[in-house]
Structure 1
Amino acid sequence: MEANFVISLGNKSQVPIISFSATSPSLTSIRSPYFFRATQNDSSQVRAISAIIQAFGWREAVPICEDNEFGEGLIPYLSDALEDVNARIPYRSVISPGATDEEIKDELYKLMTMKTRVFIVHMAPNLGCRVFNKAEEIGMMTEGYVWIMTDGLTNHRLMDCWDMDSKLQGVLGVRSYVPKSKKLDNFKLRWKRKFLQDNSSMVNAELDIFGLWAYDATFALAMAVERLGTANFSFDMSNVPQTVRTELQSIRVSQNGPKLIQTLSNTRFKGLSGEFGFTNGQLKPSAFQIVNGERGIGFWTSKYGFVKKLNFTNVTRYSTSRENLGTIIWPGDSNTVPKGWEIPTNGKRLKIGVPVKEGSSVFVKEMLDPSTNSTIITGYSIDVFNAVMGAMPYAVTYDFIPFKNSDGKMTGSYNDLVYQVFLGNYDAVVGDISIVVNRSLYVDFTLPYTESGVVMVVPIQGDSKKNAWVFLKPLTSDLWVTSACFFVFIGFVVWVLEHRISEDFRGPPLYQIGTSLSFSLQTVVFAQRERVTDGFGFAFPRGSPLVADVNRAILNVADSDKLREIENTWFQTQTSCSDSTPTVSSNSLGLESFWGLFLVAGAAAIFTLIIFVAEFLYKQKDVWLDSEASVRNKILKLSRIFNAKDLSSHTFRQTYERSRNDSGVHVIGSDETSPNTNNLQGSPSY
């Protein structure tokens, strides 16, 4: 609020306002031409932080921020940056600047009960020191934890407020990079000598980057004033009438303010902090140094990502590979990269839901142990899951819970079982769970541990390759002939039904015959596509950090002999073949196997054809009841009517109505035919 107020004063008086400590991203939206930010915007560092998250494969991170505009202003930008690298924020920890030590410990204890072990700390140095002290006190600076500091902490010297000598070694951080130079070294010596003269009791005082930005900002303003070449910095009264003027409205307006901001915007030089200059009132973003404690381990730039040195000689593309960083010492003096999450020791065991099936099932079986009178869950899926959990790089404790009601029957369908994971009732679901699209909207599936089908490959030696007509052997000759006749018959029936009402079944005779037969062939031969599944998999909550490790464990189990052993246990292999003859026996399918199908299809087609003919003759009863016409004339007239379009049908009625509306001509439909007229309505077959 204070910064906003000062910026508004500068805008009213047309005086440049230069800040070297206002890092809040919200100040960018003010759009005042008189505001110059001589420091890095907090949002400029979020991509460097997300690159660290991506480099080590962490999927979740919890920000711990200060409960004010400075702390919370970073969160929206950090959340977007993490989403870009497929990571998310499961919880936001907010600590008040005036929080007591007990309140800080309570919040940290809450974080200990969660799975996520990656924390991003963004707060002022005084509060940050207290948070790290309490974290070390309750055991959160040990192996398995990840701490990342923003430049709000790394740009300050924390050694004075916290015993960092050993503990800070495990903390990562990003800080604005200041290139080394002889000019900077000389300035620091002069500054320290002067500072000790004025403050002899403060021996360990160091100049941080904010002091360098302040010096460069002052130097830039002096250069701008010098280039402006004027000594007149007078102010004019505002145009507000004196009778309604308030104290703020009485502020005078600088005569040279517009010229000064233009000159200041064009000022460029190499200062103590590096290349210094303003673009749209903002300091040009610099590279960020990645630090491990106080030790630099690499750099991050917006163009190249992680690099060990800023010479860019061998760098051609953006990279977030951790190979471009130096050796990292993690909390607890560990050299092992933390996986980023843990099952809390004081947390609950994972609840694994399993389906309940009536009868025998090799995938999931519920048995009663007579010795302990307890329920035992076994089966192929259970053994595979146990093997996968055994291949995990860490211990995971869990219990199998059958998805059943008080009657011992399954409570709902498989979709209902999977949905329980989304509701939080189960931590995972194991069984013959098919991976389908609608379920993936609510859960994350692992890689399939088995295919959802049975394939039998039987090597056999036969003489089929010498017979050019071997493709006809699956069916007997009478079945082939009957099928061909049905193709023609079904095509004829479809043509009769569609000829008067569909353009697709009109035209030259050969075209009509081809359309009818192709339609019949497609209807009989090509079956509707079945629902496709991707095999059986384990279901976990969306965004669960377990999924990536479980997938790797599934691959490890699949590559070993363990999965084959489990398959042999539950799916007994047959060592001998019931038909050991080396030749292919003729087991062709005959008409006797399908006569029922042909009977039903033929009866349905004939019944439909009879209804159509009866309806057609009823509508044209005036023709065939005409006593004056001969039988031959009646047949010819009915055939002509059948060959004409049925303008009363839905297909042609809309077309003719649009034609009538466009041309203004009234078209008589077939239902308007006079009983006494001999003129046929509609167009010919072509």
Structure 2
Amino acid sequence: MDLMDSQKVEAILGPQTSEETSSVAEIASKKQIPVLSFADATPNWATERWPFLLQASQNQLAQMKAIAAIVQSWEWHQVTVIYEDIDSSATGILPHLSDALREAGAEIIHVLALPHFPSSRLSEELEKLKGGQCRVFVVHLSLELAVHLFEKANKMKMMEKDYIWITTDAFTSLVHSINTSSISSMQGILGVRSHFPEDKPKFQDFCKRFRKRFGAEYPEEDNNHEPGALAVQTYDAVWSVALAMKQKSEKLNQKLLRRILLSDFDGLTGKVEFMNQKVAPAHTYQIINLMGKSYRELGFWTYGLGFSDTIIDPKYNYSSMKDLGQVFWPGAPWYTPKGWTLPAKDQPLRIGVPIGSEFQQYVNVEYDELRNFTYFGGFSIELFKALVEKLPFYLPYNFIPFNGSYDDLVKQLYLNNFAGVVGDVAIVARRCQYADFTHPYTESGLVMIFPVQKSGNKTLLFLKPFTRAVWILVAVISIYNGFVVWLIERNHWPELTGSALHQTGTFFWLSFNLHGEKLHSNLSRMTTLVWLFVALVISQTYTANLTSMLTARGLEPTVNNIETLQSSNAIIGYSRCLGDYASDLKSRKTGAVFLEVAEAKIFLAKYCKGFTVAGPTYKVGGLGFAFPKGSPLLPSVIEALLKVSESGKLRELETSMIASEKCMEVNLHDDDDISSLSPSGFWMLMLALLKHWENHIKQQFNRRVGQEESSGISSDTHEARFVLSLNIETVA
């Protein structure tokens, strides 16, 4: 403060950390002296609290989106962040990086804060990171600390294959100043730095003068005379203040702060202007790749546009960094690192498997005490084994039995006790807070299973295909048709004459028994032809309806929907044993059972008679495999599961599982078999047939009697001859 008074300071440039900026801004605001800060980011509350505070460096928060775009391009899903714990602005970028990664489908799983001065703790922290599975590291450190970090990581063999290192502008913008011996330990690093229009004459002139003066003052620096980002930003900040102070003599009534905020000129960083007391944020970043004794420029990333090969009139913009060309990775592998490491062979993944599944067809765990061996089988187990074979890498694992509820089993993933869960685990919302699931590997849906309905009275079963109205209509048409034929043929057919009673009987007989060869009139033949066509349609319809009724009557459920269950206060069944469902439904202890579609197929395959599915299918998540939240293994497992499904192996396993079930008879009704027919359904037809046969015998007997009486034979002889003739007809 004394310096401000004695030297009549009008502006302050230089604070690079949030702590420095806060201290200087607190004092300068009281004196109404503008402070131009070069911290990475200045929060809005700071400029509101200290109105004379200006951020002269470009906001680097957009840089976090550039890093997230790189992570997304190579399909990495987990990131470890290493930052320098000396500045609150460093921790301030973490939320922005976390949000950007989340939008890109990735997340920060570990954060390592390092002190400004290197310590022995660095080796311990790197050893912990080396023991983890994540291999993608985002480094936000100063030049000195970053060099020390990479030298230590190189000694610990963390700059080899499968490791990925991404550095921010704080380090990348000064890569040119690193000596050859140090850069040899940084091979394969990807760096993101601010882009400046270096092709413009003004920038080239500045670089020329900077190299000349810097070389004269620091001759010990070998060829490291290129200006960094801080030098370029400082140059523009000084020009902003200088131009504002130049106008002071011309416009004495304006304050210096206001004139600085009105800055509008082309600087080394581009267009220099202030918005809300901050220089316009950077939108374009350059991506470099350290290799050999220096680095290679891969391309650019622009906010809202994506990646491009050049910033000067780019022809194409790419959504992925893969389009920028080959990247030199640490250890020089020919492949792209997957961003995580597999467990060692002596440390296979622990895969939890539920014990006591109610559907042993999916998961069957048996322990052999004699051999001290646990057997794991079932559809889910075999599917997981087939899935592992489709992975593009070797995956060691061990099945671990778990005796507890399925919810507790999924929670073990959250507690890091298991690396995955394999079994008939339903995908439900409450479990998603503890784990991530694969796509369902079974048909998803919830169905209701009911016992079939007991058949009713079968006595008049043959009348059921038509309603009473249809039967009456058929009778009326038949009688009408017989009347028309009788009316036309009565003068040509002697049998249609006689007494009124005889003609009435003949009339009804014609209604159901027409012989075309006996008809004399073409009109009666046409009438008969139409009636025969109608009779054919009626008979075929009758046969189809009767067949349908005989087939479907054993499949009618006792209840048709859930509303009926609710209104009747029926009990919904749940059991740990498949057989209990059948017995409870049979005894009516439960009104219905809700099962997954896949489980219902097994139930109906085993109990193929006596039960059926009714009502709608309720959409649920289905069955899937579970993994810890953000597991790097999950994307590869999902892809492998799709390959198994597309190859037909999934359908083959499911068909084999269902085909292995032997149908078991469950007699729900003690009186008869619901799928079989008995004489009780047709006794009335049989009675009518017997009555018809009796009438036919009487008619034949009376006719013979009349003939014999005319010949003078006794009645006893009539009966004997008639019986004998019947026997002869029967034998014939």
The equivalent position to 1:153 in structure 2, one of 171, 195, 201, is 171
The verdict on how the C-alpha distance between 1:380 and 1:346 changes in structure 2, with shifts beyond 3 A counting, is closer
Matched residues in 1 for 2:626 and 2:411: separation? 10
The answer for the alignment partner of 1:282 in structure 2 is 278
For 1:11 and 1:63, how far apart are their aligned partners in 2? 35
User: In structure 1, how many angstroms separate the alpha carbons of the residues matched to 2:382 and 2:412?
Assistant: 22
Query: Who is 1:652 aligned against?
Result: none
Which of 201, 209, 217 in structure 2 is aligned with 1:182?
201
Question: Is the alpha carbon distance of 1:199 and 1:414 closer, same or farther for their aligned partners in structure 2, counting shifts above 3 Å?
Answer: closer
The Cα offsets for residues 136-155 of structure 1, whole Å up to 9 and x where unpaired, read as: 11011111111110111111
Looking at structure 2, the residues matched to 185 and 40 of structure 1 have their Cα atoms a distance apart, in angstroms, of 20
Tell me how far 1:42 sits from its aligned partner.
3.4
C-alpha RMSD of matched pairs (Å):
4.0
- Whether the 8 Å contact between 1:114 and 1:344 is mirrored in structure 2 is no
Secondary structure of 2:70's aligned partner: helix
Alpha carbons of 1:8 and 1:165: their partners in 2 closer, same or farther (altered >3 Å)?
Answer: closer
For 2:326 and 2:550, the matched residues in 1 are separated by 74
Matches within 5 A, 1:222-621: 222-230=242-250, 259-286=255-282, 287-293=284-290, 294-311=295-312, 314=315, 320-345=319-344, 348-357=347-356, 361-367=360-366, 372-404=371-403, 411=404, 413-451=405-443, 474-475=548-549, 532-560=619-647, 562-563=649-650, 566-567=653-654, 570-572=657-659
| Counterpart Cα distance in 1 of 2:439 and 2:265 | 56
Cα deviation 1:86-135 (Å, max 9, x = unaligned): 321111111111232x3111110111111111111011111111111111
Q: What secondary structure, in the 3-state scheme, does the structure 2 residue paired with 1:545 have?
A: coil
Q: Distance in 1 between matches of 2:181 and 2:656?
A: 59
Letter in 2 for 1:116: C
Q: Give me the whole-angstrom Cα distance separating, in 1, the residues matched to 2:226 and 2:78.
A: 36
Gaps spanning 5+ residues in structure 2: where?
1-18, 448-536, 568-612, 662-673, 680-732
Question: CA 1:24/1:365 → structure 2, altered by over 3 Å: closer, same or farther?
Answer: same
Aligned equivalents of 2:358, 2:304: Cα separation in 1: 62
Distance in 2 (alpha carbons) for counterparts of 1:446 and 1:403: 20
1:210 equivalent to 2:230? Answer yes
- Residue type of the alignment partner of 1:291: I
Name the SS of the counterpart of 1:421 in structure 2.
helix
Question: Following TM superposition, by how much is the alpha carbon of 1:569 offset from its aligned partner in structure 2, in angstroms?
Answer: 5.7
Residues 47 and 54, structure 2, Cα contact 8 Å, conserved in 1: no
Q: Aligned in 2, Cα 1:209/1:203: closer, same or farther, shift over 3 Å?
A: same
Cα deviation digits, residues 218-269 of structure 1 (max 9, x gap) = 122222222343497xxxxxxxxxxxxxxxxxxxxxxx6x532222222222
Aligned equivalents of 2:621 and 2:546: distance in 1?
A: 33
Contact kept, 8 Å, 2:82 with 2:112, in 1: the verdict is yes
> Kindly tell me: are residues 467 and 63 of structure 1, through their superposed partners in 2, closer, same or farther at Cα, counting changes over 3 Å?
farther
Counterpart in the other structure of 1:506: none
The match for 1:29 is: 46
Q: How far apart, in 1, do the equivalents of 2:266 and 2:414 lie? A: 56
Structure 1: 5+ residue stretches without partners: 233-255, 405-410, 456-462, 495-525, 575-586, 593-686
Q: Report which of the two has the higher share of strand.
A: 2
Shift of 1:476: 5.9
Q: In structure 1, what is the Cα distance between the partners aligned to 2:678 and 2:204?
A: 99
Larger CA Rg, structure 1 vs 2:
2
Write the distance in 1 (CA, Å) between the matches of 2:115 and 2:204.
Answer: 38
Between the aligned partners of 2:411 and 2:277, the Cα distance in structure 1 is 52
1:418–1:539 contact (8 Å) kept in structure 2: yes
Partner of 1:88: 107
- Secondary structure in structure 2 of the residue aligned to 1:399: strand
What is the number of equivalent residue pairs in this alignment?
501
Residue identity in the other structure for 1:223: L
Q: Deviations over 1:518-575 (max 9, x none)?
A: xxxxxxxx9776654343211112222211110001111222254455456655489x
CA distance in 1, matches of 2:215, 2:74: 44
Match of 1:655 in 2: none
- Output the CA distance in 2 between the equivalents of 1:298 and 1:589: 79
Contact 1:129–1:161 (CA under 8 A) maintained in structure 2: no
Change (3 A) 1:346 1:72: farther
Which digits, 9 at most, give the CA deviation of each residue in 1:635-672, with x for residues without a partner? xxxxxxxxxxxxxxxxxxxxxxxxxxxxxxxxxxxxxx
Q: Distance in 1 between matches of 2:614 and 2:646?
A: 37
C-alpha distance in structure 2 between counterparts of 1:421 and 1:185, whole Å: 57
Match of 1:628 in 2: none
- Residue in 2 that maps onto 1:221: 241
Q: What SS does the aligned partner of 1:299 have? A: strand
CA contact (8 A) 2:139 2:166 kept: yes
What TM-score do you get using the length of structure 2 for normalisation?
Answer: 0.61
Give TM-score, length-normalised by structure 1.
Answer: 0.65
Distance, in Å, in 1 between the alignment partners of 2:444 and 2:678 is 32
Q: Structure 1, residues 463-519: CA drift from partner, whole Å, max 9, x if none?
A: 9xx859967854469989x99xx99xx99xx9xxxxxxxxxxxxxxxxxxxxxxxxx
1:379–1:298 distance in 2 versus 1, CA, 3 Å: same
TM-superposed deviation, 1:157? 3.1
1:182-229, CA deviations, whole angstroms, 9 ceiling, x for partnerless residues?
A: 332232222222223333333323221211111122122222222343
Whole-Å separation in 2 of the counterparts to 1:352 and 1:303: 42
Conserved in 2, the CA contact under 8 Å of 1:431 and 1:538? yes
